[in-house]
Structure formats: C-alpha cells, structure tokens
Amino acid sequence: MPSISFLGTGSGIPSADRFFSSSILHLDGSHLLIDAGEPCVHLLRDRGSLIREIDALLITHGHVDHVGGVPSLLQGCHLLGREKALPIYLPGEMISPLRAWITAVYLREEALGFPVSWHAWDHGRPVDLGGGISVTPWLNNHLRACYAGKPGSDHSRHCESFSLEAVQREFRGVISGDLASPDELRGLLAAPVTVLVSELSHFGPDELAATLRDATVASLCLVHLSDELSLDRAALQSRMEKLLPGVGDVFLPDDGEVLDF
C-alpha cells in the first residue's frame, strides 16, 4: 500500500513545533525522499535502517528549508554504513553549488562509501526510477514570485522550482513543492489524483479550494502552513472540508505521521 511519511511539515519560518520540509513516499518497497530540510537525517535514523535504503532524493527547489539537511544526510549515510547508490534529482543550477558546499564541510563524495549521482530535472520529462515508478517535474514560478522587486534580485540567474508528479500503476501522487499560485497545479489535476500534498503558505485556503473544486482528489494533505493558518489547525481542516466536499479526505499531517493511501 502506498504511504507517505511526513518528516517535516513546517514552513520556512523556524518553529519549535515543526521541522523543515521533508517526506518519504513509499511505493512497493521503494522509498523516495522528497526534499531534505533539517533535521531529516535524525528523523531517518529514528526509522531504523531506512537511511541506508532510500532509493532516491528528489529536491523541488533550492530554498534552505528544503535543502539545508543535504550535507548532514550524506554524512549520516556514510557513518551508518550505507552502500547503496543514491541518485539525487534537483534543479540543474543547484548541482555545482551543492557539491561545492559538501566539499567545503570536508565531505568527499568518493570517500562516502556509496555512489552519489546528480541529475538535473527537465520540465515535463518523466524520470524512470524502476519498479514501474516514474516521477515528472513540472516547473512553477515560486522563486520568481519570491524575489520579484526585492533588492539584490538577479532575474538573469537561472533559478528553477518544481512540483512533482509520482506515478505507479493506479497510484498518482502530486507534491506541490512551493508555488507562486495554486493555479500552477491545474494541469496536474486534469487526471484523478490519489493524493495531493500541497503547501499552504504562499496563498490562502480559498485560492487553493478554487483550484481544486473541479478536480478529482482522493486525499489532500496540507503542509508548509503559514504562521497564521498554523494557529488553529482544526479550524483550517474543517474549513477546507466545507470548501471541498468532493475531496475524499483532508489531512493536516503532523511531523512523524505516516498516512496510507
């Protein structure tokens, strides 16, 4: 049965109650780590041998609350005796800086004890991860919206942010990543969705509901909530259930929660 382990469900604002973005999609014995916000390595260690079994790391974009745990993850894999190859899929412009960061903290890829490979996402092109699993990255405008008009912004720089679509047989999961607008999900919602994991920090519940109203979504998981929405999670859940009577289930998962689909 497909499931998602939510390691960190918080937004980019530090919180004593929520860790940064990271989750694991489990599909028929395959384990896909989606984003590596801190402290994902500790949370993986809490799951026995899982840190040695992750099949791939999928990174949506380069904000620190989504990638800050990458060096610690690689170090933890090394110290805990991982031997299995780890492919990392991510926006292409991040590959050189991340590898430089890893070197700067005295990690050497060739000395980790397991192969690491780096793969740039290509908008709209599915990636075959084996076992009948494919993941397709869909470009969104989150980063452009974040930095529009801000001092020091360089729009000539190539910066990409992606939503991810994971498919295996009858399962179809959509992970929003961070978005500029929920409208960016419309193309991904044209076909039925088993589970949509959506952020709710950069837009409001009504905007998301308007996008989802005509979609076929069996389960909706709301993560990466804004501080305001986090104050009363029960009220938010009730509100979304009323706004979206056609959605099978609405969840606001806690850190550490595992949901089956």
Domains of the chain: 3-260 (3.60.15.10)
Reported as a pLDDT band with limits 50, 70 and 90, residue 159 is: confident
Reported as a pLDDT band with limits 50, 70 and 90, residue 48 is: confident
> Is residue 154 scored above 70 in pLDDT?
no
Mean pLDDT of 138-143: 94
Q: Which residues contact 86 (CB under 8 A, 6 or more apart)?
A: 54, 56, 57, 74, 77, 114, 115, 116, 117
> Is residue 117 scored above 80 in pLDDT?
yes
Q: Please, what's the b/e burial string for 209-238 (b: 16 or more CB within 10 A of its CB; e: otherwise)?
A: bebbeebebebbbbbbbeeebbeeeeebee
Residue-wise pLDDT for 179-216, tens only, equals 999 999 999 999 999 999 999 999 999 999 999 999 99
Reported as a pLDDT band with limits 50, 70 and 90, residue 35 is: very high
Cα distances (angstroms) measured from residue 153 to each of 150, 158, 202, 243: 6, 12, 19, 37
- The pLDDT value recorded for residue 146 is 80
Cα distances (angstroms) measured from residue 211 to each of 22, 74, 244: 24, 38, 10
On average, the pLDDT of the chain sits at 95
Residue-wise pLDDT for 207-258, tens only, equals 999 999 999 999 999 999 999 999 999 999 999 999 999 999 999 999 999 9
Contacts 24+ apart (CB under 8 A), 192-196: 192/216, 192/217, 192/218, 193/217, 193/218, 194/2, 194/170, 194/218, 194/219, 194/261, 195/2, 195/4, 195/219, 195/220, 195/221, 195/259, 195/261, 196/220, 196/221
% the chain with pLDDT above 90 = 91
Q: Rounded to whole angstroms, how far apart are CA atoms 115 and 82?
A: 10
- The pLDDT value recorded for residue 46 is 86
Reported as a pLDDT band with limits 50, 70 and 90, residue 157 is: low
With beta carbons less than 8 A apart as the criterion, state whether 111 and 140 touch: no
What element of type H or E holds 140? strand 133-140
% the chain with pLDDT above 70 = 96
- The pLDDT value recorded for residue 64 is 97
- 228: its two tokens: 């305001």
Residue-wise pLDDT for 122-136, tens only, equals 999 999 999 999 999
Cα distances (angstroms) measured from residue 149 to each of 72, 126, 153, 154: 34, 33, 7, 10
Q: Rounded to whole angstroms, how far apart are CA atoms 107 and 216?
A: 45
- The pLDDT value recorded for residue 245 is 95
